[in-house]
Amino acid sequence: MSRAHLGPLLTFPERPGHSQRRKGTPMTIKSLDWIKSSYSGNGGACVEWAPSYASTHGVVPVRDSKQSDGPVLMVSTIAFAGLVTMARSDAR
């Protein structure tokens, strides 16, 4: 599968240097239910994702399991599906 079929990994709603007021309630990442990837071994290279957020918002939060307070990458569902497909093919 070529990279072009995976969709955008990240989207940026505004240009750098331009601010925009956002309405709504800030999300607390810690409040999400995180699941460790079944393809993660015990070598410390583990990722987690939050399926409940993905199913209600259409984007998938992904983070490093060693840094639960660290950055969260928000990817499109198409990009996440491509990542899972590649992980499955590499695991064989």
Question: Hey, what are 85's tokens?
Answer: 């497909």
In a domain, 92, yes or no: yes
In a domain, 81, yes or no: yes
Question: Looking at residues 74-85, what average pLDDT do you find?
Answer: 90
Percent of the chain predicted with pLDDT > 90? 11
> How many separate domains does the chain show?
1
Which pLDDT belongs to residue 78? 92
Distance in angstroms (rounded) separating the CA atoms of residues 1 and 84:
12
Q: Tell me the pLDDT band of 90, cut-offs 50, 70 and 90.
A: confident
Structural domain span for residue 75: 45-92
Q: Tell me the pLDDT band of 39, cut-offs 50, 70 and 90.
A: low
Element (H, E) at 35: strand 35-36
In a domain, 15, yes or no: no
Question: Hey, what are 74's tokens?
Answer: 């928000």
Contacts of 85 by beta carbon, 8 Å cutoff, 6+ apart: 1
Name the pairing type of β-strands 47-49 and 73-76. unpaired
